[in-house]
Amino acid sequence: MQLDEWGEHARRAFYELRKTTSNKRNAALLELAKRLEDNDQQTQILAANAKDLQEGEGLSGALKDRLRLDKNRLLSMARAVREIAALKDPVGEIIQGHRHPSGMEMVQKRVPLGVLFVIFESRPNVTIDIAALSLKSGNAAILRGGKEALHSNRALHRLITESLQTVGLATDSVLLVTDPARELMLELLKQSGSIDLVVPRGGEGLIQFVSEHSRIPVVKHDKGVCTLYVDRSADLALATQVAINAKLQRPSVCNAIENLLIHREFARKKELLEALNEAGVELLGCEETRQILPQIQPIPTEEEYATEYLDARLSAKVIGGVAEAIAFIQRFGSGHSEAIIAEDHRTIEEFLTGCDSAALFVNCSTRFHDGGEMGMGAEVGISTGRLHVRGPMGLGHLTTTTWVVLGNGQTRS
Amino acid sequence: MQLDEWGEHARRAFYELRKTTSNKRNAALLELAKRLEDNDQQTQILAANAKDLQEGEGLSGALKDRLRLDKNRLLSMARAVREIAALKDPVGEIIQGHRHPSGMEMVQKRVPLGVLFVIFESRPNVTIDIAALSLKSGNAAILRGGKEALHSNRALHRLITESLQTVGLATDSVLLVTDPARELMLELLKQSGSIDLVVPRGGEGLIQFVSEHSRIPVVKHDKGVCTLYVDRSADLALATQVAINAKLQRPSVCNAIENLLIHREFARKKELLEALNEAGVELLGCEETRQILPQIQPIPTEEEYATEYLDARLSAKVIGGVAEAIAFIQRFGSGHSEAIIAEDHRTIEEFLTGCDSAALFVNCSTRFHDGGEMGMGAEVGISTGRLHVRGPMGLGHLTTTTWVVLGNGQTRS
């Protein structure tokens, strides 16, 4: 297939998909789950994955872990596909409707979004997740995974193609870009006539590249520089457990915290910082924090507070109160997730009104900023943009709408 | 103000606006309406408008008409502002909410979108409409009207600034670009750090320019190449009245039809075409239509069907049925509005399932594709994109969302 034909091929598949029923698309998903659970298929996928791991010997331990597949991970991929198949189809949902004074029935309903171009890195389960979410909602998808997972993605994509064939859906419904050249990605980013949405998931460099070069609307899944503010009215035990969870439960994800702000008048500053230190958090901090706990390393510059560590590191700062916390978040945060630990009602209100982020947490962990936790069943990612969707991007966000107006001769005067 | 400071100024005003109440923003709108109704103010605006008309002597009659203001038009602008003030504020609306199994309350609510950059042509009432809609929903706006309306827009913008001052809102909440240079627009289109949304309303050239150069998300208000299909099962009287309304009631707007498809077996083809001809529609058509009515001019090429006339012209074609109509719309249409005139239920179903446009009309006029008619009260425009909003863009589409999660120590495991 020529570079400039990818979008067109996917678009034609989309026009076919639009006409299919949920039943048929679910059947393809169940075929896919069955294949992921099949012993022979598993052997082939794991062999392909072993090849990726071998070629990626120079990769970091964390990256290798993200890349590595085993039987359990394949089974949990199959389970995710079955869960997606069991979700309610967003297509056809009536969003609003009313009768026009002239008697026309006006109804706005969800229809598939179109052709999605999803760009992601390393984790091969994303290939299956995105393919399943796209098919479920009647969209065609062009997938571009990281080159370090190429063999695994090829093997997984073969299962998708076979599943489509088995139930009689167009195999172009899910295309996989196997050429890692950036030129190919650039070429696809220009095909605004046939591709409707680009979703980049990955590092800052990728997101910036896509945002700058795309002629197609982009829903970004950008970095999370998330902040936890501990007010003077906070409960120590609660602050400690939430801070440790928000930093350490899974440091490599976007909804983990990178900054900890503590009210100067919070009496238990020392205990909080000590607990974090003992839990294994590598602390950096301002002068005041270092006077409390000398093990804290000094913050090199203020800009450090805008860094996404994706690691057990945390930057701490002592501040004067909630207004200062809001100003700090406005300056250094990425608008992803912020949390406050406080018992004082008015302080909480001020924090919630002053912060303009995708999700705000009161006395609980930022780690709950997640489609599954927020009741969406499955997510394409977490959008850090302000248009179309902000926060977890679920199945419903893979649709657009059509107004259908039924009349009997109405004309406008 | 320096070029690169516009976005920043608007952003700071936005942060102030976010904190204000609906009452306060409505007060600014009522101040604005009062000024538009004031005799002395009207005299000044009409003098500025006369200057625009004088400098634009070379403009076409239609453009001059769009540009011209009089007391009645100013009063209807004031009425529109009062209507917007009376609408429900979308900010704060709870979209969804539930209790997490762990006891946290999770609520998704509407918050203002941010800083809007709205680019439009000629009609000065747009300046007032957009300013009012932005303020109503807590957004800051940068407006760039056409250079032919510069004096009028300046005079109107002065009223906006005075109204903001009177109630104590930041005057940077609504900025007007008075320098018509494209470089300034280009510079603003790069300020993705401070501007959240670009809305271009106008000709194809403008839309394309903005889409190509913007680093900021764009909601397009593109052309409408709309098609009316008259099935063999159609009622002649109904088909005639809808076709005439959809073409002639206001030919210069995007929801007027440009193409008429007639089923070959529709027995009253001749009467329909004659009625259109007699109503003053300038018809172009395929060979078959010309055999029915020789006054019809020949279609030069097939590409003619992709033309937006914005005039009393209409391209007609005789076709074999609804499947052909769907293929025609897919090829030549712009995804804006399509209509079918038919009595046969299954044909209507096929049309509705097969067409992928922002609005579909059965036995009524495409002219109803309008925010006011669809019950939204007021509209920023009609979006032809598929993301964020498709179809009429109302107040609710000038918001984004925040998830607020209230807990008492919940951590993720």
* Residue in this structure with the two tokens 């594709």, named with its chain if needed: B369
3-state secondary structure of B353: helix
Distance (Å, rounded) from C-alpha B326 to C-alpha B333? 10
Q: Assess whether A199 and A159 both reside in one domain.
A: yes
Band of the pLDDT at B197, cuts 50, 70, 90?
very high
* 3 state DSSP class of B156: helix
Q: How confident is the model at residue B128 (pLDDT cuts 50, 70, 90)?
A: very high
* ipTM for this prediction: 0.93
Judged by a CB distance cut-off of 8 A, whether residue A108 touches chain B is: yes
Q: Is the Cβ–Cβ distance between A23 and A86 less than 8 Å? A: no
> How far apart are alpha carbons A72 and A190 in whole angstroms?
39
Same-domain check for residues B134 and B262: no
Within this chain, do residues B81 and B99 fall inside the same structural domain, yes or no? yes
Residues A232 and A335 in one domain: yes
Q: Is the CB of residue B226 less than 8 Å from the CB of residue B258?
A: yes
Helices then strands (H, E): number in chain B? 14, 16
Where helices occur in A313-389 by DSSP H, the ranges are 322-332, 345-354
Helices (H), A145-235: 150-167, 182-189, 204-213
Q: In chain B, which residues have their Cβ closer than 8 Å to the Cβ of A211?
A: 192, 215
CATH number of the CATH domain containing A41: 3.40.605.10
Distance, in Å, from the CA atom of A211 to the CA atom of A232, rounded to the nearest integer, reads 41
The answer as to whether B76 is a domain residue is yes
- The reply to whether A307 and A247 lie within a common domain is yes
| pLDDT at residue B22, rounded to an integer | 97
In a domain, B378, yes or no: no
Rounded mean pLDDT of A43-58? Answer: 96
Same-domain status, A69 and A164: yes
Q: Is A360 on the interface with B (CB under 8 A)?
A: yes
Residues of A in Cβ contact (< 8 Å) with B226: none
Predicted local distance difference test score (pLDDT) of residue B377: 76
CB atoms inside a 10 Å sphere around CB A223: 18
A181 — pLDDT class (breaks 50, 70, 90): confident
Q: Are residues B262 and B310 in the same domain?
A: yes
Report the pLDDT value the prediction gives residue A4, as an integer from 0 to 100.
77
Say how many domains are in chain B.
Answer: 2
Residue B230 — φ and ψ, nearest 5°? -105, 110
Q: What values do phi and psi take at A131, rounded to 5? A: -60, -45
B94 part of contact set with chain A, CB < 8 Å: no
Asked if the C-beta of A374 comes within 8 angstroms of chain B's C-beta atoms, the answer is yes
- Contacts B391 to A, Cβ<8 Å: 108, 401-403
Q: Which of B375, B403, B407 sits opposite A374 (nearest CB)?
A: B403
Q: B167 and B262: one domain?
A: no
Model pTM score: 0.93
Q: Strands of A276-336 (E only): list them.
A: 282-285, 297-298, 313-319
pLDDT confidence of B182, banded at 50, 70, 90? confident
CATH number for B339: 3.40.309.10
> Can you list the alpha helix ranges (DSSP code H) found in B57-102?
61-67, 71-86
> Are residues B51 and B190 located together in one domain of the fold?
yes
Residue B1 has pLDDT above 80, yes or no: no
Q: Which domain holds residue B137?
A: 3-222+384-399
Judgement on whether residues A303 and A175 belong to the same structural domain of the protein: no
| Strand, coil or helix: B229 | strand
Distance from CA of B115 to the nearest CA of A (A): 11
Which among A165, A158, A226 is positioned nearest to A369, based on CA atoms? A226
Separation between Cα atoms, residue A397 and residue A399, nearest integer Å? 5
CB contact under 8 A, B411 and A196: no
Nearest CA-CA partner of B245 in B265, B266, B226, B263:
B226
pLDDT in tens, B311-364: 999 999 999 999 999 999 999 999 999 999 999 999 999 999 999 999 999 999
Q: Which of B17, B21, B386, B397 is the mutation pick for testing A, counting most A CBs within 10 A?
A: B386
Question: Any bridge partners for residue A200, and if so which?
Answer: A119
Q: Indicate if B193 and B257 belong to the same structural domain.
A: no
Nearest to A100 among B358, B362, B373 (CB): B373
The rounded mean pLDDT for chain A is 95
Can you read off the two tokens belonging to residue A187?
A: 């070429």
**Based on the domain organization, do A180 and A310 belong to the same domain?**
no
A62 touches chain B (CB under 8 A): no
Q: Which two tokens stand for residue B113?
A: 């979108």
Q: B403, A369: Cβ pair inside 8 Å?
A: yes
B218 touching A (Cβ < 8 Å): yes
The predicted-structure confidence for A274-326, as pLDDT tens digits, reads as follows 999 999 999 999 999 999 999 999 999 999 999 999 899 999 999 999 999 99
- Residue B408: predicted pLDDT: 97
